Amino acid sequence: DLSDPEFSIAEWSFQHSRKAGRFTDTLPSTLYTYYPLIGNKIRLGVVLIRHKKQLTGDEELFWDAFRTQISNALEREYLNDIARRASVLDESDKLYQSLFNSISHELKIPVATILGASDTLLSGDYDKNTNRNLYEEINKASARLNILIENLLNMSMMESGRI
């Protein structure tokens, strides 16, 4: 855990993309040297090192090269993770559209059956047998519609974590 002053120095180093802290001209009274981790495209964070002595020129060059490798590896992993997430979201969107189209089609069939049978019943006088058949079609279509709606509600509850 960083103290508030340490966090402020890390934040400054991150925002300005410059090292700060011990053995630097910026806030040298702290125990740590703060090095920004900068990738090719993004700033990734800050690493804190507690040096016992100031680095020599060669040690500083070595540390800078090592820090660059760390930054590039972290950036590569970060960008790969973003790409994976984007791919999953894209596939999820395609699945959602496919499911939505399928559900719309499945709901339309019983509704059309109910509308057609009830319209027929309302439009004329039919014998008892025809009326019975039309009522049975309305009943079957209503039951099918009810099952579809229950399945949608169950899916919704599963998705929300209630089941």
The whole-number pLDDT of residue 133 equals: 95
Cβ distance 39 to 75 under 8 Å?
Answer: yes
The pLDDT-based confidence of 163 (bands split at 50, 70, 90) is low
Cβ distance 143 to 102 under 8 Å?
Answer: no
Over residues 29-77, the pLDDT tens digits come to 999 999 999 999 999 999 999 999 999 999 999 999 999 999 999 999 9
Instruction: Write out the DSSP string of 48-62.
Output: EE--SSPPPHHHHHH
Q: Minimal CA–CA distance to 19: which of 60, 70, 53?
A: 60
Task: Please name the residues in contact with 13: beta carbons below 8 A apart, sequence gap of 6 or more.
Answer: 19, 20, 21, 34, 35, 36, 46
d(CA 158, CA 155): 5
Say yes or no to pLDDT of 11 above 80.
Answer: yes
C-alpha triplet 147, 149, 155: angle, nearest 5°: 100
Strands (E), the chain: 20-21, 33-38, 43-49
Q: Which residue carries 């890390």 as its tokens?
A: 10
Over residues 104-122, the pLDDT tens digits come to 898 999 999 999 999 999 9
Task: Please name the residues in contact with 16: beta carbons below 8 A apart, sequence gap of 6 or more.
Answer: 36
Over residues 80-97, the pLDDT tens digits come to 999 999 999 999 999 988
Say yes or no to pLDDT of 160 above 90.
Answer: no
